[in-house]
């Protein structure tokens, strides 16, 4: 099998597999419970590399299909330009998946622009970047029905993609819930022994910090230690 024929038959599958791996590693990179800062940085690097691979396979897939006249340039560039039913609608789903993938990749590149601008900007970034899930769903529907009858290994790849993303979502959701429950129910210090904790302000220093001064109501001052000694004498 030559390279051109291989890309014609497997380019879309490679794009979907790369997109699936991108989504899974994106979920891994967002985990703050199991991964430390270095682990998250590594997962984010893998996530970005896989996203670049998915975009590359997408361009190859679209280029080969247009060159082979399996889809027109208009249908490839404009979602549902040829209609919304039958094979034309399935091709439109593929075009839509491509644009959603580009949107997710663009928001990933522009993440620093949204960072540090408050919760509203962070919420908008998450909504835009979540377009990767829409790209994955539409790409899966497109790949299963738009082309020729899939071979067994292709069907196996699609099933593996579905299982992988579903498992990552379940583990992500379950892990977050378990982590929050552990934080709320975790006994610390005096709580574990059943004693009432003493409220002290939290301080950070390089050496051993002295005990904090006793708190007094406003307008009252505690006498100095020298005054107490002088009076008792």
How much is the average pLDDT of 20-35?
83
Q: Can you read off the two tokens belonging to residue 123?
A: 């919420």
Global pTM value: 0.70
74: left (phi over 0), alpha (psi -120 to 50) or beta: alpha
Structure tokens at 12: 């879309």
Higher-scoring residue by pLDDT: 224, 168: 168
Confidence of residue 39 (pLDDT cuts 50, 70, 90): confident
pLDDT reported for residue 181: 47
Lowest mean pLDDT among 75-84, 129-138, 164-173, 180-189: 180-189
The length of the chain in residues reads 233
- pLDDT of residue 154 exceeding 50, the answer is yes
Which residues fall within 8 angstroms of residue 130, CB to CB, at 6 or more apart? 104
Which pLDDT value is given to residue 71?
A: 84
Q: Report the distance separating Cα 158 and Cα 162, nearest Å.
A: 6
pLDDT of the residue at 199: 46
Q: How far is CA 80 from CA 57, 58, 84, 145, in A?
A: 21, 18, 6, 15
Q: Which of 9-23, 114-128, 148-162, 186-200 has the lowest mean pLDDT?
A: 186-200
- Distance, CA of 40 to CA of 214 (rounded, Å): 42
Q: What is the pLDDT of residue 107?
A: 92
pLDDT of residue 103: 94
What is the reported pLDDT for 231? 53
What is the pLDDT, as a whole number, of residue 204?
40
pLDDT at 56 over 90: yes
The three-class DSSP label of residue 197 is coil
**pLDDT tens figures, 73-92:** 888 888 888 888 788 898 99
Higher pLDDT, 29 or 62: 62
For range 58-84, the mean pLDDT: 88
Of residues 167 and 181, more confidence is placed in: 167
Cα–Cα distance measured from residue 30 to residue 46, given in angstroms and rounded to the nearest whole number: 12
């Amino acid at each position: 099998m030559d390279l051109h024929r291989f890309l014609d038959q497997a380019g879309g599958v490679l794009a979907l597999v790369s997109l699936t791996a991108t989504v899974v590693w994106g979920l891994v990179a967002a985990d703050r419970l199991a991964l430390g800062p270095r682990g998250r940085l590594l997962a984010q690097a893998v996530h970005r590399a896989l996203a670049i691979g998915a975009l590359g396979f997408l361009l190859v897939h679209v280029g080969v299909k247009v060159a082979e006249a399996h889809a027109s340039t208009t249908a490839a560039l404009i979602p549902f330009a040829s209609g919304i039913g039958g094979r034309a609608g399935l091709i439109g789903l593929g075009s839509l998946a491509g644009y959603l993938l580009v949107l997710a990749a663009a928001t990933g590149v522009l993440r620093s622009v949204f960072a540090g601008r408050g919760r509203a900007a962070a919420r908008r970034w998450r909504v835009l970047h979540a377009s990767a899930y829409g790209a994955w769903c539409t790409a899966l529907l497109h790949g299963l029905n738009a082309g020729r009858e899939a071979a067994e290994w292709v069907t196996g790849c699609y099933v593996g993609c579905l299982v992988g993303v579903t498992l990552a979502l379940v583990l992500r959701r379950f892990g977050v819930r378990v982590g929050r429950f552990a934080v709320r129910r975790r006994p610390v210090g005096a709580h574990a022994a059943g004693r009432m904790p003493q409220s002290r302000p939290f301080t950070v220093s390089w050496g051993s910090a002295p005990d904090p001064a006793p708190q007094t109501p406003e307008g009252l001052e505690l006498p100095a230690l020298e005054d107490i000694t002088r009076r008792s004498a």
